[in-house]
Copies of this chain bind each other. A is one copy, B any other.
Amino acid sequence: MATADTAVLRRFNRAWSQRIGVLEESYLGQGRSLGASRLLFEIGPSGAGVLELRRRLGLDSGYLSRLLRTLENDGLVTVRADHGDRRRRVAVPTTKGRRAIERLERRSEDRALELVAPLGPSQRRRLDEALVTAERLIRAATSSIEPVAADGPQASYAVGRYFAELQERFPDGFDSEGAATTDVPGMSPPAGCFLVARVDEDVVACGGLQRHTARVGEVKRMWVDPDWRGCGLGVRMLAALEDEARRLGYGEVYLDTNASLVEAIAMYERSGYHAIGRYSDNPYAQAWFAKRLASLPR
């Protein structure tokens, strides 16, 4: 079972990189070295800071500097000091550079078109669907779940999306004013935490943990971006919160939810939560769950 899908993955990778990956490289090159092309592409039509480029491409500063020099010598970009901080420099494409970027775009586009050209409309549709599905799952699988400050920008963004959704889904709406700020200290160390899942810098899920009693933690603000549901992020987030609860010394976690959040309730039950009686005075709660935490494995 476990080996079956890695075989699929590896076979796919082989077939894909033989046809696309390898070809792409030699294709994009065209005169310029691949490194220089990639850099030019990454600079983009509106320019980019050198520091940011180094981060995005993961290059050595000396190497990047040299690449920039060759692009400059070819008259494709100009590099000038950043206005705010004159240690930093900014690369901006010239007109010629912008044309070169467009050419790269076009080549890449042509290559993709050439590949799907032999397929009929229904095959293309199926390929599209399969690639969209695979991309979402792969991206979700490689997303990282990390603690952030409960009052930081990432938490605020996620909680804002969460509240907006509650407002829309609860039959009588949802008043976020009261809840928004009061819980921040509770979801910070040492008695709590706030986690977000990120896919390529985008926050796509969140969840908080706070103290209920000395032995019981409470999960709050569990949310997964609607575009990213069905990828297992909710289950992972919940498991990460439970790990965190164990780490903080809780032996059990509670959570409450509204009856209208049916997918969430199903997930809690799948994850081993069982219904308990009302434990809070949360006016929006209509169902209460608990799960005993086994001690840390291994």
Contacts and interface: CB of A to CB of B under 8 A. Distances in A.
B142 A5 contact: no
Interface in A99-129: 108-109, 112-113, 115-120, 123-124, 126-129
Contact of A137 (B2, B130, B143): B130
A46 interface: no
Nearest to A125: B5
Interface in A5-51: 5-6, 8-13, 15-17, 19-21, 24
A161 interface: no
Nearest to A115: B141
B130 A133 contact: yes
A235 interface: yes
Given A12-B131, A17-B21, A139-B15, A6 B113 contact: yes
A231 interface: yes
Determine how many copies of this chain the complex contains: 2
A232 interface: yes
A126 B118 contact: no
Interface residues of A, number: 52
Contacts of A235: 120
A81 interface: no
B231 A16 contact: no
Interface in A121-176: 123-124, 126-135, 137-143
A94 B24 CA distance: 35
B5 A127 contact: yes
B133 A137 contact: no
| Of A3, A24, A120, A141, most B-chain CB atoms within 10 Å | A141
Given A5-B128, A119-B232, 19 more contacts: A2-B113, A5-B124, A5-B127, A10-B108, A12-B135, A16-B138, A21-B21, A116-B141, A117-B141, A118-B140, A118-B141, A118-B142, A119-B141, A120-B232, A123-B231, A127-B133, A127-B141, A131-B134, A134-B134
